[in-house]
Amino acid sequence: MKQILYIDLDGVVADFELAMNTHPLRKNSPYNINPDMIPGIFRDLSPIENAIESVQKILQSEHYEVFFLSTAPWNNPSAWTDKRLWLEDHFGEIINRKLILTHRKDLLKGDILIDDRPNNGAENFDGTLIRFSSKEFPNWNAILIYLSL
């Protein structure tokens, strides 16, 4: 039986921090306070180093059923569509119906959650929380080793 594995998007697969710090609107109000409100910011994020190749390995594994799990800003509805389109651009049809958008990650049932922050319920996830960019899991290579891939 496959384990259910959730992968957060921003800060784990897609580099939101880079986009946030370099976007031309970042210095303008209200985006200087809420950069996740910048129109279209989630559509063209750069992938995090080795993220695409690593996630493809996990997607092809016989051991895991993979879902992408993300929080989208409530007041930026285009972000919801942009995240879905970003996933399709980078992973193709294999991710069809594999995106879950929620502000309560702790409500999901599963075995593993890969997330860079303990926010939005990640810290209360019932399964194993793998903290991406932590000392134990500094990069995708460390995660693949942990997952025996």
Residue of 10, 82, 115, 116 marked catalytic: 10
List the catalytic residue out of 8, 82, 115, 116. 8
Compute the distance between CA of residue 27 and CA of residue 148 in angstroms, rounded to an integer. Answer: 43
CA dist 138 and 143 (Å) reads 8
Q: Is 10 a catalytic residue?
A: yes
* Closest to 85 measured CA to CA, from 39, 36, 40, 55: 40
| Distance from C-alpha of 4 to C-alpha of 112, rounded to nearest angstrom | 7
Positive/negative CA dihedral, 133, 137, 141, 143: negative
**14: closest CA among 74, 78, 66, 89?**
89
Q: Which residues have C-beta within 8 Å of that of residue 109, sequence separation ≥ 6?
A: 4, 126
Instruction: State the catalytic residues.
Output: 8, 10
